A = this chain, B = another copy of it.
Amino acid sequence: MPFSINPPPRLLMGPGPINADPRVLRAMSAPMLGQYDPVFRRMMRETQELYRQVFQTENESTVLVDGTARAGIEAIFVSVLCPGDVVLVPVFGRFGQLLCEIASRCGADVRTLQAEWGTVFDRETIEAGLREHRPKLLAICQGDTSTTMCQPLEWLGALCHSYGALCYVDATATVGGNQLAVADWQLDAVSVGLQKCLGGAAGISPITLSDSVAELIKSRMHLEAGIQPVGYVPGSGPRIASNYFDLAMILGYWGQGVNHHTEATSMLYAAHECARILVEEGLPAAQERHRLHSRALRIGLESMGLRLYGDPTHRMQNITGIYVPTEVDGEKVRSTLLAEFGIEIGTSFGPLAGVIWRIGTMGYNAQRIPVLQTLACLSATLRLLGMKLPSDGIPEALHEYQSQDS
C-alpha cells in the first residue's frame, strides 16, 4: 500500500504550477455541498462576480469550466467554431501552436502568423493578417510561457472588430500578474487557469465571454434529450460537437441550474479563494508586486553573469528566460537544484529546449524570500558544477528591494 500523499519540500519556481497559496489549499479542504444547495449556488454567483473583477469586465457570461487551462480553451473553440470556420492564430511560441492544434481539432480552417520566438507581434502585422484571412476568430496568447513574451493587446479587440473578427485570448499565464483589461480591450472571450499568478492548483478554468459571443453560443443550444422539457425547441445554430465542453449547456448550468456536470466542488472553492486573494490585494498592487520581484530576480541573475532571453521590452512580469551558460549542462543544473535544494525551475520547448531556463515569480512565489532563495541556491549549484560567478546576485537583488523600500 503506498503512503498517503506527503510531498517533499518544494519551491516551485518554474513556469507553473507554482506553490499554491496556503489559503487556497485550506479552501480546497472545505466540506462538500450539494450542487443545487442554495448556499452552493450563492458561492457560484460569488465566484462569477469575483472573476468579473479579475477579468475587469461586467460580462454576465463569466463562469468556470471543470478541467485544466486547455479545457477552457477547447470549450470556447468548440462552442464558437463550426467546421470550416477560418481562425487566425498569431503564433509566438509553443502555446500559440497549441491554440492552432485545438482549433484544428474543432475542424477550423487554421491560418497562422509567425513571429520569431522571443518577440511579439506589432499591430500592423496582425492587421495585415486580418485583412488577408478575414477570420471568424482571431486567437492569441497574452503571455506565451515557452518564450516568456507578453503580447500587447490594448488595441486588439477593436482591430479585430473592424475586420469583423471575434477575438479570443489565452491569458492563463498572465492573469493576476500582468494587466488584463477585458472590457477596455474589447476582448470577446478569455480563458485562464489557476496554477500561475492566481496561486491555485490546476483543474478548473475561469472564462469570460462577451454578450455577442454568449449569444452566438446560446443560439447553438441543443439541450440533452434526457432533460428536455415538454415542447422543447432547440437553438437554430448547429449543435456543439462536445457535450462536456458545450458552453450553451454550461452557461445554462451556471445561470438557470440546467443539469449538466456535477460541479468540481473543491476546485470551485479553490477558484473562489484565488480570486478573493487577488481582489483583496488589488489588481494594480498584484501587478506591481510581480513586476518588482521579476526585476529583482533579473538583476540578480544578470549580476551572476547570466544572460536573459528575449525582447526586454515585452517580457511577461511573472517569468524570466535565461540562456543556459555554455559552461554547464542545463539539465544537470535543474536536477541538482531540485534534488539538493528542493527548487524547481523549467526548461522550454522546441527550439528552446535545453537552450533556456525559465524561472517563474508568480502568485504566492512572487515574494522576496522565494526570489532570494532561488538566486542563492542557483548560484550555489552553478558553483558546485564548476562555474565561476562574479556574484551570487544577492547583494544586487537586495539593493533593488531596498531602493523600493526607501
Is A259 in contact with chain B by the CB < 8 A criterion?
A: yes
Q: Are B276 and A266 in contact (CB under 8 A)?
A: no
Q: How far is the CB of A359 from chain B (nearest CB, A)?
A: 13
Whether A2 and B276, one on each chain, are in contact in the complex, defined by CB atoms closer than 8 angstroms, is: yes
Tell me, yes or no, whether A367 is within 8 Å of chain B by CB: no
- Is A176 located at the chain interface by the 8 A CB criterion? no
Given A30-B7, A68-B66, A350-B226, are A2 and B261 also a contact pair (CB < 8 Å)?
Answer: no
**How many chain A residues touch the partner (CB < 8 A)?**
89
Within 8 A of B (CB), among A237-274: 239-246, 259, 261-267, 269-270, 272-273
Given A12-B34, A18-B32, A29-B26, A202–B105 Cβ distance below 8 Å?
Answer: no
Closest Cβ neighbor of A31 among chain B residues: B7
Answer yes or no: A279 CB below 8 A from chain B CBs: yes
**Residue from the set A4, A107, A240, A243 with the largest chain B CB neighbour count within 10 Å:** A243
- Tell which of B29, B195, B338 touches A262, judged by Cβ atoms closer than 8 Å: B195
Taken together as a complex, chains A and B put the C-alpha atoms of A226 and B7 apart, in Å, by: 31
Contact B19 A32 (CB under 8 A): yes
**Given contacts A32-B18, A101-B225, is CB(A243)–CB(B5) below 8 Å?**
no
| A5/B30 contact (C-beta < 8 A), A105-B240, A224-B98, A264-B203 known | yes
A23 at the interface (CB under 8 A from B): yes
Residues of B with C-beta under 8 A to A241: 105-107, 241
Complex CA–CA separation, A270 to B25 (angstroms)? 13
Asked if A227 CB lies within 8 Å of chain B CBs, one says yes
A246–B193 CA distance with the chains assembled, in angstroms: 20
The answer to whether B27 touches A5 (Cβ under 8 A) is yes
Give the residue among A5, A40, A272 with the most B Cβ atoms within 10 A: A5
Q: Is A20 an interface residue (CB 8 A)?
A: yes
Q: Tell me if A70 is interfacial: C-beta within 8 Å of chain B.
A: yes
Residue pair A70, B244 in contact (C-beta under 8 Å): yes
Closest to A67 in B: B67
A160 shortest CB reach to chain B, Å? 23
Considering the complex, give the chain B residue whose CB is closest to the CB of A105: B243
What residue in chain B is nearest A245 (Cβ atoms)? Answer: B244
Chain B residues, Cβ within 8 Å of A40: 7
**Smallest CB-CB separation from A14: which chain B residue?**
B34
A261 touches B30 (CB 8 A): no
Quick check: is A387 within 8 A (CB to CB) of the other chain?
no
Distance A344 CA – B31 CA, assembled complex (angstroms): 14
| Contacting residues, chain B, for A71 (C-beta < 8 A) | 66-67, 244, 261
A242 to B70, CA, bound (A): 11
Task: List chain B residues, Cβ under 8 A from A50.
Answer: 2
Contact of A233 with B by CB under 8 A: no
Q: Is A46 an interface residue (CB 8 A)?
A: yes
Contact A20 B5 (CB under 8 A): no
**CA–CA, A50 and B1, complex, Å:** 8
Asked whether any CB of chain B lies closer than 8 Å to the CB of A175, the reply is no
Bound form: Cα–Cα A355–B32 in Å: 26
For A240, the closest partner residue in chain B by CB is B105
Residue A39, interface by CB 8 Å: yes
A32 with B4: CB separation less than 8 A: no
Find the B residue at minimum CB distance from A249: B101
Q: Is A17 an interface residue (CB 8 A)?
A: yes
- Cβ of A10 to closest chain B Cβ, rounded Å: 6
Our pick among B106, B262, B266, B338 for the contact of A266 (Cβ within 8 Å) is B266
> Which residues of A are in contact with B by a Cβ distance under 8 Å?
1-2, 4-8, 10, 12, 14, 16-20, 23, 25-35, 37, 39-40, 43, 46, 49-50, 66-71, 74, 78, 94-95, 97-98, 100-102, 105-107, 193, 195, 201-204, 224-227, 239-246, 259, 261-267, 269-270, 272-273, 276, 279-280, 338, 344, 349-350
The 8 closest A-B pairs by CB, nearest first: A203-B264, A97-B226, A29-B29, A2-B46, A201-B266, A25-B29, A202-B262, A68-B261
